[in-house]
Amino acid sequence: MIPKKPDAARLDKIVADARRAADTREQGYRERSLKMYPWICGRCMREFTHANVSQLTVHHRDHNHNNNPPDGSNWELLCLYCHDNEHSRYLEADRGAGLQAPEMQAATHNPFAGLAGLIKKKE
């Protein structure tokens, strides 16, 4: 069977779509932050290379994913583990925010009430 020649128009469309996707990706906050900051986790200081940069995440310091200033002041690069830890701490703090500590009653017992009598008996 003779292999079919590729359709030039179809190949051009695939290449154009790939280039458009790459341009869109470069405008995203992840690509901008990876260009802006060194590839090091901000918490554990683990270093990343091209081989494992997919394990480096962009963390929004104020936890608002729509807050993406051009200077990157709301971002920090964290590894997957530190990023998960940060979000679990945030969720735990958020859960406890509505709870109030139960009211404690003042202690009424005086542990030294009979001490003077015990000391006089020994003398």
List pLDDT tens digits, range 61-83: 998 888 888 898 999 999 999 99
Q: Identify the pLDDT of residue 81.
A: 95
How much is the mean pLDDT over the chain?
84
Is there a domain that residue 20 lies in?
no
pTM for the full model?
0.57
CATH code, domain with 72: 3.40.1800
Is there a domain that residue 86 lies in?
yes
Give me the residues paired with residue 111 across strands. none
- Per the structure, the complete domain to which residue 31 belongs is given by 25-92
Is there a domain that residue 2 lies in?
no
Is there a domain that residue 77 lies in?
yes
Is there a domain that residue 1 lies in?
no
C-alpha torsion angle, residues 91, 96, 98, 101 (rounded to 10): -170
Is there a domain that residue 85 lies in?
yes
CA atoms within 13 Å, Cβ hemisphere of 9: 0
Residues 99-108 have a mean pLDDT of 74
Give me the residues paired with residue 40 across strands. 47
Q: Could you give the number of structural domains in the chain? A: 1
Alpha carbon 16 to chain centroid distance? 34
State the alpha helices, DSSP H only, in the chain. Answer: 8-27, 29-36, 80-96, 115-122
